[in-house]
Structure 1
Amino acid sequence: MQRQKLEKFKCELTTREYSLIGQSITANFPSGFPDAALKVQKEFVERRNEIINFKDKEVLISPYMCNGIIATYFACLEVSDLTDIPEGMIGFTLPFQTYAKINCTNQSIGEAYDRIFKWMNEKGYVQRFLENTCPIEIFYFEDHVEEEDVEMLIPIRT
């Protein structure tokens, strides 16, 4: 079944909870990125079949935490529960949270960050930092395409 393409640079609010299983990497920021993110994503994609209770194996969910010096970046699948976590992986739940969301592609992530923060500023939304949540990048795998859809979620104060 073909998934509908996302409308590029569309900004909106969404509220979600995520239960995730995956792997992480920590590296210097900004000098270690995007190389560290690509490394953990590649390693995780090779192991994602070990997760048995996934919701969609073709959707890679990547929350991250960054303090401007170092960043921890995750590569995960959304799961129905956290009962079976493969060796060397981590399972956790990001509780219900309101996010500012923007659609982009893997080729336009930098521009999307500029646009979402501008939109948030115009709407009076303030980012929520490290309070039981974190920003998320969601990658939609597609075969034989140059640009894959990405959603970026920035937690906001409500």
Structure 2
Amino acid sequence: MEVKAVATFACEVVKREFELIGQSITANFPQAFPDAAIKIQMDFEKRIDDIENCKNKQVLISPYMCNDIVATYFACVEVEGLTETPEGMIGFKLPMMNYAKISCSNKTIDQGYSKIFSWMGENGYKQKWYDKSFPIEIFYLDEGAEEEVVEILIPIQ
């Protein structure tokens, strides 16, 4: 049986935009994390079927904002247009932007952050701070899998 690596730690620059619908949670940082993030993701997964124009229910997109006092963390899916947002959810568009991207897993996410910031420094990239941007975690859900692919996207200038 072939064992394939979930965390490749491959880094690259990608250009993306997102139209998202989801829910968010704001909690003390770092004390309440990752528990707050897991809670909003689990709550949101129960309501994914409420979103009619979802591109892929197996891809959970989690932008976030953090100032080392509190963090707001989103659980979203990408949609085809922001036409109808279910009650209790938020819809928003993240404009086209360059991101530094790394592929890791839900079990190696801390290593992923260390490696992407090292790679950015080595290659002369600086993080863009919240000017129409968010860092993003993308989870590729695999029902029953212990380890799932995660991509970390850091907006760069």
TM over 0.5: yes
> Number of matched residues?
154
1:101 is aligned to 2:88: no
Q: Does 1:143 align with 2:147?
A: no
User: In structure 2, what residue type is equivalent to 1:58?
Assistant: Q
Which residue is equivalent to 1:38?
38
Shift of 1:110: 0.3
1:96/1:5 CA distance change after superposition, 3 Å: farther
1:143 deviation in Å? 2.3
What corresponds to 1:63 in structure 2?
63
Contact conserved, 2:22 with 2:74, CA < 8 A, in 1? yes
- The 1:119/1:153 distance shift into structure 2, 3 A limit, reads same
Structure 1: state its 5+ residue gaps. Answer: none
Matching residue's letter, 1:24:
S
Give, in whole Å, the separation in 2 of the partners of 1:143 and 1:20: 22
Unaligned 5+ runs, structure 2: none
Q: Where does residue 18 of structure 1 map in the other structure?
A: 18
1:13, 1:153 → 2: CA distance?
9
TM-score by length of 1: 0.95
Moved over 4 A (4+): 4-7
CA RMSD of aligned residues (A): 1.3
Identical positions, percent: 58
Deviations 1:3-29 (Å, cap 9, x if unpaired)? x97661000000000000000000011
**How far, CA to CA, are the matches of 2:43 and 2:7 in structure 1?**
29
Tell me the TM-score normalized by structure 2.
Answer: 0.95
- Rate the CA distance shift 1:76–1:5 in 2: closer, same or farther, 3 A: farther
**In structure 2, what residue type is equivalent to 1:38?**
I
Question: What is the DSSP-based 3-state SS (H/G/I as helix, E as strand, rest coil) of the residue aligned with 1:41?
Answer: helix
